[in-house]
């Protein structure tokens, strides 16, 4: 059975969707703003909030770290300075860990390198995320797998061979794995979401939970992903899509995240058990809407019924219309007035059908 537990929350085919609010660096390097994002995500019903952790000096080449960065979203003159401005250290992570615990929401992070993974493990993070860019980074995957914590792996830009390689590298070390269908565009075109890969992953990896990391701007595709078998959905989250930063424009704001969580919960309930039945709530409406068999005109006792003797009318408090063919040819034991119900005691003999 495919199953994953994060902070004692069970994720499986028969559970609600596990929703990760990806904050990334939408906090703009501001600890208090990050706490506001945590609080808002919790109020919206997300199960977890997630940041991104980089050890920038070891992650980037010196040339990339020192390269000029003049984007409208830049927080520094060089790419390294930009990234350092957005990076939280031990103080901020401990503050946020305590705050998330008080809120009752899980908090973990994407580790982009070995130093970051070790940093997070010292803080006893409950789970780890690996970004699409590390789908082929088997050494980092194995290192994180050795911690024995749940792992979420995005697969944007990868091939099935890449995904299979990652699965085969991790599973002998750590079976607490969730693979996420993902498209690495920010945001991708809808035809690039390729949601049916969720079904492909479920067939290929029947022993693990499959999810969907959704970079599109709306909320509908999360529900479609759940219907296809995704039981984890990750969505970027912000308090204001107009804020400075590369991810805000395609992130959900509070109303969007709240509606997405609501719709995912409704979807699980609405899927039901597949057994067709009538519900108590349907009886009263159907009394008015459904039909019965009544006499088309006054009929005498001893009359042999023909098709012309029947009318189909509401309300539904008599014999159903599907019985009409079984009643044609029967003899009436008592007279009927126009609009009288046909009932079993008006016939001289019982219907055959």
Using one digit for the tens of pLDDT, what is the confidence trace for 136-187? Answer: 999 999 999 999 999 999 999 999 999 999 999 999 999 999 999 999 888 8
Given a contact cutoff of 8 angstroms between Cβ atoms, the answer to whether 340 and 319 are in contact is no
Instruction: For residue 198, give both structure tokens.
Output: 């969720």
Q: How far apart are CA 61 and CA 56, in angstroms?
A: 9
Helix (H) or strand (E) holding 310: strand 310-313
3-state secondary structure of 242: coil
- What residue spans in the chain does CATH classification 3.20.20.70 cover? 3-271
Place of tokens 């792996």: 153
Q: Residue 100: pLDDT above 90?
A: yes
pLDDT at 249: 87
**Phi and psi torsions of 227, nearest 5°:** -60, -30
Give the per-residue pLDDT at 327: 96
Q: Does a cis peptide bond (omega within 30 degrees of 0) precede residue 315?
A: yes
Instruction: Report the distance separating Cα 328 and Cα 171, nearest Å.
Output: 68
CA dist., res. 319 & res. 164, Å (int)? 60
Q: Which residues pair with 181 in a beta bridge?
A: 212
Name the DSSP class of 309. Answer: G
Of 28, 51, 148, 152, give the one whose Cα is nearest residue 99. Answer: 51
N-to-C CA span, the chain = 46
- 199-208 confidence digits (pLDDT tens): 999 999 999 9
187 cis-preceded (ω within 30 degrees of 0): yes
Q: How many residues does the chain have?
A: 353
Cβ pair 226, 261 in contact under 8 A: no
Q: Could you give the CA distance from residue 353 to residue 169 in angstroms, rounded to a whole number?
A: 64
The C-alpha atoms of residue 258 and residue 47 are separated, in whole angstroms, by 12
Query: How far is C-alpha 237 from the geometric centre of its chain's CA atoms?
Result: 15
Q: At which residue do the structure tokens 């250290």 appear?
A: 89
5: left (phi over 0), alpha (psi -120 to 50) or beta: beta
Instruction: Sort 310 into a burial class: Cβ within 10 Å, 0-12 / 13-18 / 19+.
Output: buried
**Is residue 62 predicted with pLDDT exceeding 80?**
yes
Q: How far apart, in whole angstroms, are the C-alpha atoms of residue 286 and residue 327?
A: 23
What are the φ and ψ backbone dihedral angles of 218, each rounded to 5 degrees?
-100, -165
| pLDDT beyond 90 at 97 | yes
Residue ranges matching CATH 3.90.1210.10 in the chain: 280-341
Just give the CATH number of 3-271: 3.20.20.70
Under the banding of pLDDT at 50, 70 and 90, the label for residue 350 is confident
Span 245-249, mean pLDDT?
87
Q: In the block, which residue shows the tokens 């085969």?
A: 168
Q: Name the DSSP class of 318.
A: S
Angle between helices 90-103 and 114-122 (to 10 degrees): 50
Percent of the chain as helix, strand, coil, to the nearest 5: 40, 20, 40
Range from 33-37, 47-51, 76-80 carrying the lowest mean pLDDT: 76-80
280-341 is classed CATH 3.40.640.10: no
Quick one: pLDDT at residue 215? 86
| Nearest by Cα to 214 from 240, 190, 238, 246 | 190
The whole-number pLDDT of residue 353 equals: 65
């Amino acid at each position: 059975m495919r199953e994953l537990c994060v902070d004692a929350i069970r994720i499986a085919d028969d559970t609600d969707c596990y929703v990760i609010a990806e904050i990334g660096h939408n906090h703009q390097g501001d600890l208090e703003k990050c706490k506001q994002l945590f609080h808002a995500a919790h109020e919206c019903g997300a199960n977890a909030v997630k940041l991104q952790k980089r050890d920038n000096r070891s992650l980037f080449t010196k040339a990339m770290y020192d390269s000029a960065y003049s984007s409208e979203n830049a927080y520094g003159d060089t790419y390294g300075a930009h990234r350092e401005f957005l990076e939280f250290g031990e103080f901020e992570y401990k503050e946020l860990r305590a705050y998330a615990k008080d809120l009752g929401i899980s908090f973990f992070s994407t580790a982009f390198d070995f130093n970051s993974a070790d940093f997070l493990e010292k803080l006893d993070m409950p789970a780890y995320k690996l970004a699409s860019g590390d789908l082929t980074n088997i050494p980092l995957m194995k290192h994180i797998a050795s911690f024995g914590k749940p792992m979420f792996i995005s697969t944007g830009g990868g091939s099935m061979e890449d995904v299979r390689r990652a699965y085969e590298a991790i599973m002998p070390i750590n079976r607490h794995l969730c693979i996420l269908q993902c498209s690495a565009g920010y945001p991708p075109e809808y035809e690039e979401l390729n949601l049916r890969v969720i079904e492909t992953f479920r067939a290929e990896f029947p022993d693990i939970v499959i999810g969907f990391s959704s970079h599109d701007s709306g909320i509908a595709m999360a529900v479609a992903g759940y219907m296809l078998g995704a039981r984890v959905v990750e969505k970027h989250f912000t308090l204001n899509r107009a804020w400075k930063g590369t991810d805000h424009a395609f992130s959900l704001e509070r109303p969007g995240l709240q509606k997405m969580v609501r719709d995912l919960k409704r979807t699980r309930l609405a899927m039901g058990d597949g057994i067709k039945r009538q519900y108590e709530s349907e009886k009263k409406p159907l009394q008015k809407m459904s039909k019965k068999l009544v006499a088309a005109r006054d009929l005498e006792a001893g009359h042999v019924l023909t098709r012309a003797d029947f009318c189909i009318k509401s309300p539904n408090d008599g014999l159903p219309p599907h019985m009409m063919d079984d009643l044609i040819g029967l003899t009436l034991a008592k007279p009927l007035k126009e609009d009288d119900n046909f009932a079993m005691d008006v016939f001289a003999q019982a219907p055959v059908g």
